Amino acid sequence: MCGIVGYIGKRNSLPIIMEGLKRMEYRGYDSAGVSIINEKNELISIKKAGKVSCLESELDIDVFNGNIGIGHTRWATHGVPNDTNAHPHFDMEENILIVHNGIIENYKLIKNRLLEEKYKFKTDTDTEILANLINYHYKNTNDFETSVRLALLEVEGTYGIACLCSKEPDKIVVARKGSPLMLGIGNQEMIVASDAAAIINHTKNVIYLEDGEMATLEKGSFHLKTVEDQDIFRDYQVLDFLLDEIEKGGYEHFMLKEICEQPDTIQNTFRGRINFDTGVAKLGGLQSVEEKLYNAKRIIITACGTAWHAALVGEYMIEHYCRIPVEVEYASEFRYRRPILNSDDVVLLISQSGETADTLAALKEARKFGATTIGVVNVIGSTIAREVDAGTYIHAGPEIGVASTKAFTSQVMSLALITLMIANEKKTETPETLIKLANELKHIPEKIAHMVSLKDEYKKVAMKFKDAKNFLYLGRGFNFPVALEGALKLKEISYIHAEGYPAAEMKHGPIALIDENMPVVFIAPQDKAYDKIISNIEEVRARKGVIIAIASEGDENITSYADHILRVPKTLALFAPIINIIPLQFLSYYIAAARGCNVDQPRNLAKSVTVE
């Protein structure tokens, strides 16, 4: 999704902006641009469709020389991805330059008004309208900050913006509403960015802008206020992750690194949160809402994509062990379908980025009804994390690959901890069961580490399917969401069509697809659904489908049913999704890599979907 970076200070801004743009590439984008104020106080700008490297190859570093600049990576919403629609955007008179994340919803109305005032437009973007609206207000106020502020007061929709003005060439004006933006405070220099990855190499001291806030940055100082013109005083926070954590560390792709990191990330999710002697889990961040959670008549879990699959696992867990009714909602549907919500409902919002627009909107919807909102979020300080009543961080560390892997397992682990917490309090499980579950939980990191050591075995199977056209993923019970997630992983990075289904549903439709060209992945560990899954495998075999089984170590019986076997360690049902998704992550990774796909930045996808 779009990324913003800007620099003001003593150094040449171009290398800092270009580095920032590269660090945000993982978010997904289709064009990039940069603008600098040069020594003659002129605004100079270049923008190109394609990768940051395309932009870089066209840049004349002698020309793009100055201490103040802004840059952008664009993910198209209004107007096709081309050089013209890329950011930054000038106003008609080329005095104002702006980069923008988000969507101006009333841009047509504003455009018509400006057309009446004889404004002219060169692009199809909503952003160019905003540049001209700032120009319009500048004519009346002769003050850059005030013009931006007045323009924003007219705007409906979402924005994270950074703007330059040739008539006030010593400042950058920035603002946010519904699209993240943070200020990095360095030594006599400031960096503004929509993502900490663009800042952390220069300073760890950051201030997060809240919705409806703006800031004027000058060399070594800044002034924070609301768009309504109220001054704000806020101290900085210190970012607590290392640049190394968001770099590849010797792996070919971030996705592979992140899959292999899971023994550690899963440990980080439960570290200090469970007593292995009693089986009692405690999540500090939920303390203030514990009573609401224990007494909830209903829990609604809402999320998008992979996080939605984790939510589905959460439904199976909480209903099974805590006996509280759970509903799982796509955040994008929830916000528009007039949901029935009460003040004694608890709404869990799961999001890796904490910035997904639909999940954020679902949060706002839940709050409108007075429901208690709980976040299960990875990115610390993200919007959802800050806006929920209470929450728990999953502590998976920065996830750079667009395909979510380690966040999924940590989301599921967080939901398992919440399950254990509620089951203990409501006494829906015996202390012996809780201790047994906690003891198994302790061994999950080593079980994942074992699977990481089997990755070459998984790769051998993957190589046989790199030219497949379709895939079916089938699982039952706790493994049904795993089937959905396995299919999503494959399609998003390899572009092979894949569907996930509950195994028994297959005969109600998808069975028509089975022939000798259809690989079918069965999640078939030796659990209580094992015999049923074997029957489903038989049904596929009878129609010549190719069987790939995710099977328990030591299960010899499976060899007479499956064409290919990916082995997994045995575990309890509560943790089955965490274990069984690992070989599926490897399978999709190796297939996509063998097909030469851009694994970390699949086409059309963004890491964080901050637009509807």
For ligand M6R, the binding residues in 425-464 under the rule CB under 6 A are none
Q: Which of 2, 165, 304, 322 is catalytic?
A: 2
Could you tell me the smallest distance in angstroms from the CB atom of residue 378 to ligand M6R?
7
Whichever of 64 and 308 has its CB closer to ligand M6R, that residue is 308
- 10: amino acid identity, one letter: K
Please compute, for residue 597, the number of CA atoms within 13 A of its CA located in the half-sphere on the CB side: 28
| Residues facing 550 on adjacent strands | 523, 566
If you ran DSSP here, which 8-state letter would residue 355 be given?
-
Active site residue 570: no
* Site for ligand M6R contains 479 (CB under 6 A): no
Q: Name every residue whose Cβ is closer than 8 Å to that of residue 57 and which is 6 or more positions away in sequence.
A: none
Does 492 participate in binding ligand M6R (rule CB under 6 A)? yes
Report yes or no: 444 and 269 within 8 Å, Cβ to Cβ: no
Shortest CB 402 distance to ligand M6R, Å: 5
- Asked if 305 touches ligand M6R (CB under 6 A), the answer is yes
Locus of tokens 């069965």: 522
Which residue in the set 165, 191, 206, 304 belongs to the binding site for ligand M6R (CB under 6 A)? Answer: 304
CB of 400 to ligand M6R, least distance (A): 12
Rule CB under 6 A: is residue 389 a binding residue for ligand M6R?
A: no
Q: In this chain, which stretch among 88-96, 139-147, 300-308, 386-394 interacts with ligand M6R, using CB under 6 A?
A: 300-308
Least distance CB 211 / ligand M6R (angstroms): 18
List the catalytic residue out of 51, 447, 489, 607: 607
Tell me which residues in 362-381 interact with ligand M6R (CB under 6 A): none
What percent of the chain is helix, strand and coil (3-state, nearest 5)? 40, 25, 35
**Residue 573 vs 609, nearer CB to ligand M6R:** 609
CB nearer ligand M6R, residue 304 or residue 371: 304
Residue number with CB closer to ligand M6R (192 or 609): 609
Kindly report the CA angle at 242 between 239 and 244, in degrees rounded to 5?
Answer: 155
Separate counts of helices (H) and strands (E) for the chain: 18, 27
Residues 498-527 that bind ligand M6R (CB under 6 A): none
The pair of three-digit structure tokens given for residue 330, joined into one six-digit string: 């796509």
> CB-wise, 4 or 403, nearer to ligand M6R?
403
| Positions 44 through 73 that interact with ligand M6R (CB under 6 A) | none
Supply angle C-alpha 532, 538, 540, rounded to 5. 110
- Applying CB under 6 A, among 214, 402, 474, 524 the residue interacting with ligand M6R is 402
- Per-residue x/- marks for ligand M6R, 145-184, CB under 6 A? ----------------------------------------
- Does residue 306 touch ligand M6R according to CB under 6 A? yes
- Unique residue bearing structure tokens 């909107």: 361
- For ligand M6R, give the closer residue by CB, 279 or 577: 577
- The distance from CA 54 to its chain's CA centroid, rounded to whole angstroms, is 26
For strands 497-502 and 470-475, give the pairing: parallel
Closest Cα to residue 132, out of 116, 442, 303? 116
What phi and psi values does residue 236 have, to the nearest 5 degrees?
-80, 160
Q: What is the largest CA-CA distance in the chain?
A: 81
Query: Which is nearer to ligand M6R, 7 or 208 (by Cβ)?
Result: 208
- The amino acid at residue 41 is N
Q: Which residues contact 506 (CB under 8 A, 6 or more apart)?
A: 472, 474, 536, 539, 540
**Per CB under 6 A, which region of 16-24, 234-242, 399-407, 448-456 contacts ligand M6R?**
399-407
Which of helix, strand or coil describes residue 33?
Answer: strand
> What's at 298, amino acid-wise?
R
Q: Give the CB-nearest residue to ligand M6R.
A: 305
Q: How far is the CB of 111 from ligand M6R (least distance, A)?
A: 30
Number of residues that bind ligand M6R (CB under 6 A): 16
Contact code string over 335-364 relative to ligand M6R, x by CB under 6 A: ----------------xxx--x--x-----
Q: Is 165 a catalytic residue?
A: no
CA distances from 501 to 154, 474, 481, 512 (A): 47, 5, 9, 14
Least CB distance from residue 328 to ligand M6R, whole Å?
A: 14
DSSP state for residue 209 in the 8-state scheme? P
Q: Which of 419, 609, 610, 611 binds ligand M6R (CB under 6 A)?
A: 609
Shortest distance (Å) from residue 348 CB to ligand M6R: 13
Q: Does 585 sit near ligand M6R (CB under 6 A)?
A: no
C-alpha dihedral (521, 527, 528, 531), degrees to nearest 10? 50
Cβ within 8 Å of residue 520, ≥6 positions away: 471, 472, 473, 474, 514, 540, 545, 546, 547, 548
Least separation in angstroms between CB 113 and ligand M6R: 35
Give me the torsion for CA of 397, 398, 401, 407, rounded to 10°. 40
Which of 307, 341, 421, 568 is close enough to bind ligand M6R by CB under 6 A?
A: 307
Length of the chain: 612
Answer yes or no whether residue 601 interacts with ligand M6R by CB under 6 A.
no
* Helix 431-453 with 576-594: angle, nearest 10 deg: 20
Question: Minimum CB separation from ligand M6R for residue 600, in Å?
Answer: 11
Closest to ligand M6R by CB, 359 or 372: 359
| Alpha-carbon gap, residue 504 to 254, rounded angstroms | 35
Q: Residue type for 95, please?
A: N
- Residue whose CB is less far from ligand M6R, 301 or 609: 609
> Binding marks (x or -) toward ligand M6R, 252..281, rule CB under 6 A?
------------------------------
Closer to ligand M6R by Cβ: residue 330 or 530: 330
Query: Tokens representing 196?
Result: 């900490």
Which one of residues 123, 404, 419, 601 is an interface residue with ligand M6R (CB under 6 A)?
A: 404
Alpha-carbon distance 181 to 4, whole Å?
8
Per CB under 6 A, 403 contacts ligand M6R: yes
Residue 85 engages ligand M6R in binding (rule: CB under 6 A): no
Query: Smallest distance, Å, CB 29 to ligand M6R?
Result: 15
| The residue to which tokens 């220099």 are assigned | 189
Q: How far apart are CA 178 and CA 114, in angstroms?
A: 25
Min dist CB 489 to ligand M6R, Å, is 7
Which DSSP symbol is given to 343? Answer: T
Nearer residue to ligand M6R within complex by CB, 376 or 547: 376
Q: Which residues are catalytic?
A: 2, 607
Contact residues for ligand M6R (CB under 6 A)?
304-307, 351-353, 356, 359, 402-404, 492, 605, 608-609
